[in-house]
Chain A
């Protein structure tokens, strides 16, 4: 519509080849090498107890933190928009900190605080509870890294939400709990789901902070991404292939889910 025809074509070709080489081609390369390799061997690698275990804990902890973030993230966004309290501005700025801090540094931060040589870590260790190089460390790292997703997804929706809607419900005799359940939650749910899905996918793939906080102990703290890294480092390509494919498929399904949520959200917007 805007540019002359040749210009439009050049723009499209350039953009498509960029995304083609950078994103699409690597995916096809991975899939093609799966088909070139002995699939039985790859299957054996996937079903290796270490691999299975790594997938299991990855999925389990991703699910856990997704649920926790869903609640705490929504509450944080709500508090930040609707209430006034000291240090609110600083808090609002610091929400993005986990996005801005390199994951390696996050890992080091957590080890410093909860490691065996620190006061807190020492206290827990005396009671036989180890955080670092153990599964609670995975949990802490993931919670830190994924904290902003739900907050930043829900916050703008609460800002735009008309208070009149709640007031109208109150005038009709609804209790605060009913208002929350029937008015606020349905309005926020697409955003909450989007944020939750994003934090879930980030948790599935997180590497830097976990490798430092939890280490690389098979059958204990070895999550999927750490497992893949180990296999690649030791030159065992078929071993890395299977789990990579599983993670890739999970990523695709999350993107599909995000698209569905997007459509659902649009329906609300049109109704408005």
Chain B
């Protein structure tokens, strides 16, 4: 039985369709990320799970129980708000104890529990501070402790690290990952940061314009994107527009053609090809693997790797190659090189649905 299951959730605000027929589930103990750009409706989905927003259509189940029409205070979920929503007129202690106070727990019990939580989130010494006296990261941890206090089985986090700076963000993300494993809750968090999602989520639900584009593990979503949106939103990628003709992809103004062998591929039509920078081979000579001619435009040193911009036709293609491998080739600016796409995905042009996923090794190009 899934901890959280939503079915066909839809929500409009006036004429704007915020959430459109969204379904997904989170198994017990899972950490699920709702990933998408801002305005894609992911926060609205989270708010519907919490009962802060009522869906126009669809159902929400928590532990198999239909809670679609249950008011939020009876759903017993923990919710961490994007801007924390700490009670400004209460101390840290009072904030954390609020949920327990509402449950009419005994004073000693509340005191004990709050103390434990303060230890857990490393806020010792700040018990009687007010939210205004805390830093962003501290506030975030108070919000977390407050949500955890009533021991919810489900935690919902809305852009939990959204308003923190990069370094604190990373620390907190790791810390939440650990905490999640320690206390065995099912969590759903909303983020627009793909790195964050890849790093800490067990499962990613990619949301685009209110719709679910793909559900899968970080690896699945990154390596086998189902749609053009997922491919381009998660990780860096080269977007190349072209045409299919006789099972071969022709790219306007690019020197060379890319063969596709997949039988699924329609014979003709407009296409978009997406290839990740690390899935491109560079060779000094034209070979069967590397048929596309290009000129090196920029070479950037990136520590463990090099980032190279290559002009082919009138398209710039971005390639990332491991440092030692690239240095061996001794290629300088303006040198002529040949490119080969080791692995790429082709999507039909208007809808962005995947039609071909190719790997050169499958085609027998690589050793």
Contact = CB atoms under 8 A, between A and B. Distances in A.
Contacts of B52: 1
B71 interface: yes
A1 to B, nearest CB: 7
B48 to A, nearest CB: 12
Contacts of B71: 4
Interface string B38-59: 0000000000000011000000
Nearest to A4: B71
A1 B52 CA distance: 6
Interface residues on B, range: under 10
Interface in A184-235: none
Contacts of A4: 71
DSSP majority for the B interface? Answer: loop
Contacts of A1: 52-53
Contacts of B53: 1
| Nearest 3 interchain pairs by C-beta | A4-B71, A1-B52, A1-B53
Nearest to B47: A1
Interface residues of A, number: 2
A60 to B, nearest CB: 48
Interface of A: 1, 4
Nearest to A3: B71
Nearest to B73: A4
A103 to B, nearest CB: 38
A4 B71 CA distance: 7
Interface of B: 52-53, 71
A4 B51 CA distance: 11
A132 B52 CA distance: 63
A4 B52 CA distance: 11
A191 to B, nearest CB: 28
Nearest to B53: A1
A1 B71 CA distance: 10
B73 to A, nearest CB: 9
A89 B52 CA distance: 47
A1 B50 CA distance: 12
B347 to A, nearest CB: 39
3 contacts: A1-B52, A1-B53, A4-B71
B98 to A, nearest CB: 16
A222 to B, nearest CB: 53
A6 to B, nearest CB: 11
B312 to A, nearest CB: 45
A4 B73 CA distance: 10
Nearest to B71: A4
Nearest to B69: A5
A1 B53 CA distance: 7
B129 to A, nearest CB: 28
Nearest to A1: B52
B79 to A, nearest CB: 14
A1 B44 CA distance: 13
A188 B52 CA distance: 40
B146 to A, nearest CB: 18
B268 to A, nearest CB: 50
A45 to B, nearest CB: 49
A1 B47 CA distance: 11
A32 B265 CA distance: 76
A101 B148 CA distance: 54
A189 to B, nearest CB: 33
A1 B48 CA distance: 11
A70 B318 CA distance: 64
A89 to B, nearest CB: 27
B33 to A, nearest CB: 26
B44 to A, nearest CB: 12
B57 to A, nearest CB: 18
B109 to A, nearest CB: 28
A25 to B, nearest CB: 32
